A and B are shown apart, each in its own frame.
Chain A
Amino acid sequence: MARKVSTRRKLVTSAIAWTIGILIFFPILWTFLTSFKSEGDAIASPPVFLFFHWTTENYIEVQSRSDYALHFWNSVIMSLGSTLLGLLIAIPAAWAMAFSPTKRTKDVLMWMLSTKMMPPVGALIPVYLIFRDAGLLDTRIGLVIVLTLINLPIIVWMLYTYFKEIPGEILEASRMDGASLAKEIIYVLTPMAVPGIASTLLLNIILAWNEAFWTLNLTTSKAAPLTTFIASYSSPEGLFYAKLSAASTMAIAPILILGWFSQKQLVRGLTFGAVK
């Protein structure tokens, strides 16, 4: 059904689109290139684009100067842990709301979403004090708890919209065919629910990985994930562009790749299916 478009026009639009795409992407590309430069090349004026001495020493240096692997690992634990814990709590709830809705289900959903609209700064002080008194400041477990709670409404909502699309007739049909409840869940429902759960997992890992308000305020060193660790490069003694770039490249690469794979789910997840 492609409309006929002259090649000339297509070439012009392509040129404009590519220029804009590269401009938007440029800061990321530049960070990537800088991560392979020596510190001297990194601040050279005029800037060197491709013809510099490529080196991987920054990547090694970043690890040896401050335990980068620890912070990377903190980010992994924090985002995976909070997402899995969130799924564990949210799957039954979303399941119940999708398959046995009551008059108040919608109100509950709305209320859950409204907790997401409380600005985090309104809860910062009590959470900080509770964490201080409970010894949870700068601990992985503390971060997992907070991130689970802040992303729980989104997890419930996403799962709900996916579960809602599983038609009830299929359940009835399988029941008429004499399937037991266990079989019904294993062979009928699970295969239909898995894609929705996977999308939710993906989006929440991305959100948790990049979350910066709570990680910056509740961690300092031991449990600091990459968001906090990278921020330490803003101090004057941390002004090493090439090393900052190496640390940044490693911090954003996994999520960039995950994100590119999950564009569609992202739109759905972030707008709760309001935009199709």
Chain B
Amino acid sequence: MATTHTRSAARLMMAPSVILLLAWMIVPLCMTIYFSFLRYNLLMPGMEEFTGFLNYQFFLSDPAFFDALINTLLLVGGVLAITVIGGMAFALLLDQPIFGQGIVRILVIAPFFVMPTVSALVWKNMFMNPVNGLFAWIARSLGFAPVDFLAAIPLISVIIIVAWQWLPFATLIMLTALQSLDEEQKEAAEMDGAGFIPRFIYIVLPHMARAITVVILIETIFLLSVFAEILVTTNGGPGTESTNLTYLVYAQALLQFDIGGASAGGIVAVILANIVAIFLVRLIGKNLEA
């Protein structure tokens, strides 16, 4: 059906999107790479000079980089563990016959639509605050000393906040997949005397494999770049205890004005994210064919 005419029309229709995205990808990336080889401080314009791999050397040997890398991994891993396991449990629960299922579903997915700065501030002030927070009140009522969440366990606090935001996503995706599971298959297994656990392992879990992979991969992409939650709660501190790679590069660029060093950090972040992205593109590519 495609003639030469329609084909060139198609090219023309695709051109704006392709050109814009190409520019959006290539221009900043090339500039970041270029800056990463310069000694370049925003406060000293005109003093840029080529330094080779010195920025990379400084960035990679900075103890803050190692902390940020570990924190990034802990943040992604922690949130993934909570949301995948919790999401699965909630999806199984919501898939049962319950009264007012629609309303419960709405309650559970609501946090996903809350903007990150709002959720971070609400948790910081109204829940985790050691004096006025609800958690502090609960702890005092039970006779414990309140925990100063963001000072004592900053990374765990950030993980809790981010997990609250992403749990609905995991639940929603898994529930959607669960509801497409063939009822008859489950019934047949039940009649054959398979208990809940074998049914879960041999029927539900294999059916959910794709949904779980999608949740893990999409969340990973977003979680690698968590920023607002850290900015408004802990500012990466105390020290570097809750600094992730994104926050570290931001701080180096816009707080210390070290463009060269931050650019090297940005490139390191791009490389790490790309390792993850390769898996995601493969997975979706497979689904596209099916």
Contact = CB atoms under 8 A, between A and B. Distances in A.
A17 B27 CA distance: 50
A180 interface: no
Contacts of A30: 122, 126, 134
A231 B285 contact: no
B9 to A, nearest CB: 7
A126 B27 contact: yes
A244 B121 contact: yes
A241 B110 CA distance: 21
B90 interface: yes
A113 interface: yes
B20 interface: yes
A10 B211 CA distance: 27
Given A93-B18, A108-B18, A210-B115, A13 B273 contact: no
A10 B98 contact: yes
A46 interface: yes
Of the candidates B100, B117, B262, the one having the most CB atoms from chain A within 10 angstroms of its own CB is B117
Given A89-B17, A267-B173, A3 B273 contact: no
Contact of A17 (B96, B164, B221): B96
A152 B28 contact: no
Contacts of B232: 231, 234
Given A21-B107, A24-B108, A259-B109, A241 B132 contact: yes
B275 to A, nearest CB: 10
Interface residues of B, number: 109
A190 interface: no
Contacts, number: 311
B116 A119 contact: no
Contacts of A114: 277, 281
Contacts of B122: 27, 30-31, 244-245, 248
A112 B288 CA distance: 14
A274 B276 contact: no
Given A206-B113, A216-B227, A125 B29 contact: no
16 contacts: A11-B99, A14-B99, A21-B107, A118-B273, A120-B246, A121-B245, A149-B21, A152-B17, A153-B21, A216-B231, A227-B115, A230-B118, A231-B232, A244-B125, A260-B109, A264-B176
Nearest to A24: B108
B270 A119 contact: yes
Interface stretch (B46-54, B55-63, B192-200, B247-255): B247-255
Contact of B172 (A22, A24, A266, A272): A266
Nearest to A4: B97
Contact of B28 (A45, A93, A127, A259): A127
Nearest to A2: B97
Contacts of B81: none
A217 B288 contact: no
A274 B120 CA distance: 30
A198 interface: no
B264 to A, nearest CB: 11
Given A30-B126, A43-B132, A125-B253, A256 B113 contact: yes
Interface in B194-224: 210-211, 214, 218, 221, 224
A263 B28 contact: no
Contacts of A78: none
A194 interface: no
A27 B123 contact: yes
A145 B112 CA distance: 25
B254 A212 contact: no
Interface in B227-243: 227-228, 231-233
A46 B97 contact: no
A123 B28 contact: yes
- Which A-B residue pairs are the 4 nearest by beta carbons? A123-B28, A212-B228, A92-B13, A117-B277
Nearest to B123: A27
Interface of A: 1-3, 5, 10-11, 13-14, 16-18, 20-22, 24-25, 27-28, 30-31, 34, 43, 45-47, 89-90, 92-93, 95-97, 99-102, 106, 108-110, 112-129, 149, 152-153, 156, 168, 206, 209-210, 212-213, 216-217, 226-228, 230-231, 233-234, 239, 241, 244-245, 248, 251-252, 255-256, 258-260, 263-264, 266-267, 270-276
Contacts of A100: 1-2, 6-7, 9-10
Contacts of B29: 118, 122-123
A130 B201 CA distance: 53
Given A31-B126, A118-B273, A124 B266 contact: yes
Contact of B32 (A89, A122, A228, A252): A122
Given A121-B269, A231-B228, A252 B125 contact: no
Given A3-B183, A13-B98, A89 B16 contact: yes
A118 B275 CA distance: 11
B169 A270 contact: yes
A121 B249 contact: yes
Contact of B266 (A24, A112, A121, A275): A121
A119 B220 CA distance: 11
A233 B225 CA distance: 22
Given A13-B96, A30-B134, A122 B115 contact: no
A212 B25 contact: no
